[in-house]
Homo-oligomer: A and B are copies of this chain.
Amino acid sequence: MTRSTIAAAIEAVLFVAEKPVSRSELAKTIGAGAKAVSEGLVELEEWYQGTGLRLQHEGDDWQIVTAPEQAPFVAAYLGADRLRLSGAALETLSVVAYRQPVTRVEIESIRGVNCDQTIYTLMQRRLIEELGRREAPGSPFEYGTTWEFLECFGLTSLDALPTVLSPDGVRSGEPVPTE
């Protein structure tokens, strides 16, 4: 791989990472040596001259952030008081809210798709949390919503969740205890 292709691979990985990534993890992920990764990071830094992004590192942990001079625009976008969640994340959140306590496998069986990423995002936002482990084979984590969730949605308690009539006419307003 050339310096540029390594820089591109690093950029893609750092772009999706929601936390700083160490150089050794980068090296492992893209299958390159430590020296090549270092050179790639230097190249990436050069690419970002004059763009809206910056490469930032704390110790050996690297991440992409927005350029400081773009802060007003970023603030203008994020400033509006509304929760920004992708449709997928909102759907996963609704499963946790209405069905807690619920395990990852249960969430996925309800949504029918892999939910690793959205669970991670919701945890990062502190909208859901691990409640503990279920006494079941594999001792899976159970997830539930947080007080930040209640605050974010302006709910006094989980009982205040809007009542939803499921398509077959069953009321499912309250969190249903899972068997």
Binding site for B on A (CB under 8 A): 4, 7-13, 15-19, 21, 25, 29-30, 47, 50-53, 64, 66-67, 69-70, 73-74, 76-81, 84-89, 111-114, 116-117, 121, 124-126, 148
Q: Which residues of B contact A19 (CB under 8 A)?
A: 84, 86-87
B16 touches A77 (CB 8 A): yes
List 3 tightest A-B contacts by C-beta distance, closest first.
A11-B52, A12-B70, A12-B52
Contact with A52, one of B8, B66, B116, B121 (Cβ below 8 angstroms): B8
Contact with A126, one of B18, B30, B67, B88 (Cβ below 8 angstroms): B88
B124 touches A84 (CB 8 A): no
A70 touches B18 (CB 8 A): no
A9 touches B78 (CB 8 A): no
Q: A16-B66, A81-B114 are in contact. List 14 more A-B contacts (CB 8 A).
A: A7-B51, A8-B51, A8-B52, A12-B67, A12-B70, A12-B74, A13-B73, A15-B64, A19-B86, A30-B73, A88-B148, A111-B124, A112-B124, A113-B125
Q: Which residues of B contact A84 (CB under 8 A)?
A: 17-19
Q: Which residues of B contact A117 (CB under 8 A)?
A: 78, 80
- Shortest A119–chain B CB gap in Å is 12
